[in-house]
Structure 1
């Protein structure tokens, strides 16, 4: 009888162990995280001239290691977009937003004759959400005085299993760089036998390089160079769109 009980318990233990090992973390589910803060200093809503900060971005629901990784990367990305000089070590987006409003109000008090409302907005959305890749787009618009504001489009690409961001080398084969350069030259009328900067671009070392920001739609890939990266501000963002089906041989995960 004792041996039978031991065998039964052993069997149940093995089944439980195998069942536990077979469990997979479900795909991430996203909700919208949003912050909208407006300064009360010199604010006239009817004139729409109030200083404000607005953040509307995807946020992974449910608390697990993978989702915490995703949200950590999103949070730090947005902080770096708005606090682009990285002078502060903000612990949260709430702290970032409050600091932005506080800095505006301090500036308005110190220099009332130059008081122009500040604005900062980040709008994020999911472009692709598949078992192999989660790709997100973030659009920034910011103005804190000066001749003009600044806008940018940036991307984050996640491994859905770990919540960590992919390196470019994990997304593309080494031959993709040469392929993208050929397309970039064709689109921007740069002769194939001339230096990449021969028509006015300023790639570092006069050598083509992929941008930091690469986004994945369902059927196309976006290579995005924001203002100042490879061209002057007046040129705005430089963007190359590649149909995914034409780049399949260079893709590692799609």
Structure 2
């Protein structure tokens, strides 16, 4: 009888452990601010569920948001949290007003995030940031983050695609069409992939930020390649 009870307890422990291990990962929307904040808006997804994986994903999202709120040299970031970055942004604005009291320009920053795609293999998140610190125009920047759904670690672009030369041959006609629609003249013989690539419901999206391959007036250039065209070159299965 004692052995039976011990076996039952052991079985329940294993079952409980596996249930905890397989907790589904979901995302909540969160707004981050401070008591004195008036010029920064941050709305980003927060991973919840599996604690270990969520922590890795949320830390990376936080790191990118902090970098987007940085004013000046990106190598001199000192903030350890988004709240600290918001406070630092305010401080930089107050210093600007002190140095240039005649300037009427108000600073602003807005960062919005969304989960673009989620499967058992990969999670793609987009962070869109707009920052205006008194220049001729604000700066819009979009960052795609691809996470390994089993670990939460960031997947570099080089690990998203196999046989890169073959993939580029398929992608180039989509790129050519995208720049044609934007009236951009580019040397397509030197086609390079963008910094931002992500999974979406419509296919693999490639996005070039402002200034990446064209002047500011061109804006962002992006296009989606249907999974049916590139399935053989994807490391992660696009079928959910």
Query: Could you state the TM-score of these two structures normalised by the residue count of structure 2?
Result: 0.83
* Structure-1 separation of matches of 2:85 and 2:6: 54
Unmatched tracts of structure 1, length 5 or more = 41-50, 190-197
Structure 2 counterpart of 1:64: 51
8 Å contact from structure 1 (residues 37, 53) kept in 2 = no
- In structure 1, distance between residues paired with 2:49 and 2:232: 36
Distance in 2 separating the partners of 1:167 and 1:20 = 34
Which residue does 2:60 correspond to in 1?
73
Closer, same or farther: CA 63–93 of 1 in aligned 2, 3 Å: farther
Aligned-partner Cα distance in 1 for 2:199–2:5: 50
Correspondence for 2:32 among 21, 35, 39 = 35
Which position in structure 1 is the counterpart of 2:127?
A: 138
The number of equivalent residue pairs is 229
Q: Is 2:11 aligned against 1:15?
A: yes
Task: Give, in angstroms, the shift of residue 108 of structure 1.
Answer: 0.7
Does the CA-based 8 Å contact 1:56-1:123 persist in structure 2? yes
- CA radius of gyration, larger in: 1
124, 136, 143: which one pairs with 2:113? Answer: 124
Instruction: Please tell me whether the aligned partners of residues 24 and 49 of structure 2 are also in contact (alpha carbons under 8 angstroms).
Output: no
**8 Å Cα contact 1:119-1:142 kept in structure 2:** yes
Alignment of 1:205-244 (within 5 A): 207-244=190-227
Q: Could you tell me which residue of structure 2 aligns to residue 193 of structure 1?
A: none
Note the aligned Cα RMSD (angstroms): 2.7
**Conserved? CA contact 2:178–2:221, under 8 Å:** no
Q: Where does structure 2 lack aligned partners over 5 or more consecutive residues?
A: none
